[in-house]
Amino acid sequence: MANLSTKIKMYCDANGVSEVDFLKDVMLQDDSDGNGAYIKEWNLDIAQPNDAQLSEQETAANTEEANNVVRSTRRTAYGNIGEQLDEIYKDIDAWKARIKSIKDANPKG
């Protein structure tokens, strides 16, 4: 099950809002009562989504969260950019092969 914040991002993106600041635009709260997080404050120019509209975003949000894990794994495996540039300078074909193997081992959904 996707995080509420990810579903909100997907809902906003589907409604023309590409950036959401969870400190100013949308504030979430969890009262630790077993009901989970909810939208406490909504300060965007689009309508606040209801539960059904957020549920519609579940599949896209699950894919986004899975892809975020893949992106993080790839970033770590790629190494820092300075080392990559040195590797490209020394042997671009070896660098291409290494990057391809990382991408193949960590496909996006």
- Measured over the CA atoms of residue 91, residue 93, residue 95 and residue 101, the dihedral's sign is negative
Per-residue DSSP letter, 71: H
CA 88 to chain centre: 29
Query: What angle, 0 to 180 degrees and rounded to 10, lies between the N-to-C axes of helices 81-105 and 58-78?
Result: 130
Q: Where are the alpha helices (DSSP H) in 15-80?
A: 51-55, 58-78
Predicted confidence pLDDT, tens digits, the chain (109 residues): 899 999 999 999 999 999 999 999 999 999 999 999 999 999 999 999 999 999 999 999 999 999 999 999 999 999 999 999 999 999 999 999 999 999 999 999 8
- Segments making up each domain of the chain, as ranges: 4-105
Report the pLDDT value the prediction gives residue 109, as an integer from 0 to 100.
Answer: 82
